[in-house]
Structure 1
């Protein structure tokens, strides 16, 4: 059940607003749903999830920014996605199927999250049809976003991927180090610097 959440009740409004964008719930129902989350703070560079770790939670970001990435056999980092306020993130294969993580998720800045265990998620879905509907809608959106990201990596030029990144993450363009953006786009830092050039 919810631990230490009373220190940041104002932040819980972010989750309330997201839920109400998809489903109708009363204040009493929301308080009950919220009681199934725990609240955590992470410092910049701290891990939410490390490769090989057993994954307990799905994370809803209240503040901050994190990246999910995979390190291949030769040590190259492949960034899968970012998450900022109002986004959910975890290693979903590990979370759903009780496996160890294949990816790392770490903080690009100080971050606050609400944590939802798979057990509590399933409990809420059993008890509230609306909550099950909410998570189904979120899963659908995530699946579409993942497919579009894969198609972009397969078929788009570096310039097109950069332009899409600027469109999708305008608040991150100036915030993130260029080597992080380059790893996400699948290009070298030199290529990215050319894309940043004003007349490109």
Structure 2
């Protein structure tokens, strides 16, 4: 059975066994418990994380009202970090914690730059992943600006039906930008 990271990379570019072994040597595995922080606001963010198993949420807490705003949910075969802090070497403005028990592969910016410089296909891989991330982010922002709560709910349900079995309704509500009560009405 192929390694999950290799399968993920090979969705974009093929790898030889030696290339994959070399790439994997630049990652560090990490296991976390449910409710454990991967990144906390104020931390220096040294890694991008590839999710092998489990589910995480990246969120911002509004200091004025204490409200949690979920920016991203990430599960198997997804990447997650505070990208602003990761690429700029600054403190995190986000919290990332485990909704479930999690296993990730950690990739430092130094190691990412190294494998991209040494293997053109990895530079290509990360460029393609970044491009799809930008497109998804733009779609999410436009959806929040233009779609009704019901339309956002139906789109999320259509795109990720299994998410609703894995995530408490309070997190779905926060991700959609609605109250728990509104989510209950939408799901009827």
TM-score of Structure 1 vs Structure 2, range by shorter chain: over 0.9
Counterpart in 1 of 2:62? 72
Q: 1:111 aligns with which of 99, 102, 117?
A: 102
Counterpart in 1 of 2:143? 152
Q: 2:48 aligns with which of 58, 61, 70?
A: 58
Q: C-alpha separation between the residues in 2 aligned to 1:96 and 1:46?
A: 23
Gaps of at least 5 residues in structure 2 are none
The SS at the match of 1:81 is: strand
Q: C-alpha separation between the residues in 2 aligned to 1:192 and 1:51?
A: 28
Counterpart in 2 of 1:33? 23
Counterpart in 1 of 2:161? 170
The SS at the match of 2:12 is: coil
Counterpart in 1 of 2:9? 19
Q: C-alpha separation between the residues in 2 aligned to 1:175 and 1:195?
A: 18
The SS at the match of 1:113 is: strand
Deviations 1:89-112 (A, max 9, x none): 000010001000010000000000
Report the CA distance between 1:30 and its aligned residue.
Answer: 0.2
Q: C-alpha separation between the residues in 2 aligned to 1:55 and 1:167?
A: 33
Counterpart in 2 of 1:6? none
Counterpart in 2 of 1:140? 131
Structure 1 vs Structure 2 CA RMSD: 0.9
Report the CA distance between 1:174 and its aligned residue.
Answer: 2.1
The SS at the match of 1:180 is: helix
Name segments (4+ residues, structure 1) moved above 4 Å.
Answer: none
Gaps of at least 5 residues in structure 1 are 1-9
TM-score by length of 1: 0.92
Correspondence list, 1:91-106, <5 A: 91-106=82-97
What is the number of residues matched between the two proteins?
A: 187
Q: C-alpha separation between the residues in 2 aligned to 1:160 and 1:150?
A: 14
Counterpart in 2 of 1:7? none
Report the CA distance between 1:170 and its aligned residue.
Answer: 1.1
